[in-house]
């Protein structure tokens, strides 16, 4: 009788244990990715812009003959987004500068949690984050002033896409390894926008300030 009861209970107990393991690991992956995105947003806010359209954020007022240096930036919201590669028809993202994006993804160019005295990048916290998984958006939302040498002060948003959860057991058994993590964008205010120590700060080179 005890053997029969054990045979009935054991699969149920095993199912509960597997469920807790898989759910716990999924939450860990989501948290790990969220932290990586926050680190990426912080790096993006202080490094060379990766979106080629960044230099156009002030086009509507640089050419204006009515706005004088020192006046507030026009209230219109202007943004530009980029990804490392296009997914095809319907996608409006431009193609990111791969070298600049590599700095954000892993500041030393290597995905390694033991980054020593360097600066942690996104893939140092989650090595499953590749360049193709990252979208960076720069938005001009009224910060800065007309005539600012380095252009408008943007808000920078970093988010991930197409990163599936990894499951130990149920993924292989039920094909659940294609469930993508929810998008959790992080937005911070841009600062010097240069990855180098002595960036060029002319009106024509602020979008690519490192020699």
pLDDT of residue 41: 92
Q: What is the pLDDT of residue 159?
A: 92
CA distance 29 to 43: 21
| Structure confidence at residue 108 as a pLDDT band (50, 70, 90) | low
Predicted confidence band at 204 (pLDDT cuts at 50, 70, 90)? low
Alpha-helical runs (H) found in 46-153: 59-62, 98-105, 122-125
Residue 81 vs residue 211, higher pLDDT:
81
Which pTM was predicted?
Answer: 0.81
Percent share of the chain, pLDDT over 70? 77
Whether the Cβ atoms of residue 192 and residue 207 lie closer than 8 Å to each other: no
Distances (CA, A) of 6 to 19, 20, 109: 20, 21, 53
Question: Mean pLDDT throughout 12-31?
Answer: 85
Query: In the numeric block, which tokens belong to residue 92?
Result: 């409006």
CA angle centred on 103, ends 97 and 106, rounded to 5°: 130
């Amino acid at each position: 009788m005890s053997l029969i009861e054990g045979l009935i209970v054991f699969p149920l107990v095993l199912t509960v244990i597997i469920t807790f393991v898989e759910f716990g690991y999924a939450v860990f992956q989501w948290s790990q990715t969220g932290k990586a995105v926050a680190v990426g947003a912080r790096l993006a806010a202080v490094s060379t812009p990766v979106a080629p359209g960044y230099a156009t954020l002030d086009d509507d007022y640089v050419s204006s003959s009515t706005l004088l240096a020192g006046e507030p930036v026009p209230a219109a919201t202007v943004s530009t987004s980029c990804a490392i590669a296009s997914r095809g028809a319907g996608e409006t993202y431009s193609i990111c500068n791969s070298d600049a994006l590599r700095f954000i993804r892993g500041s030393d160019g290597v995905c390694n949690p033991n980054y020593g005295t360097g600066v942690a990048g996104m893939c140092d916290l989650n090595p499953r984050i590749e360049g193709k998984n990252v979208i960076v958006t720069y938005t001009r939302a009224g910060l800065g002033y007309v005539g600012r040498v380095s252009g408008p002060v943007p808000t920078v948003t970093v988010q991930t896409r197409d990163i599936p959860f990894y499951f130990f057991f149920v993924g292989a058994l039920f094909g659940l390894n294609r469930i993508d993590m929810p998008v959790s964008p992080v937005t911070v205010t841009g600062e010097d926008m240069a990855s180098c120590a002595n960036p060029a700060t002319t009106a024509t080179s602020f979008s690519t300030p490192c020699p």
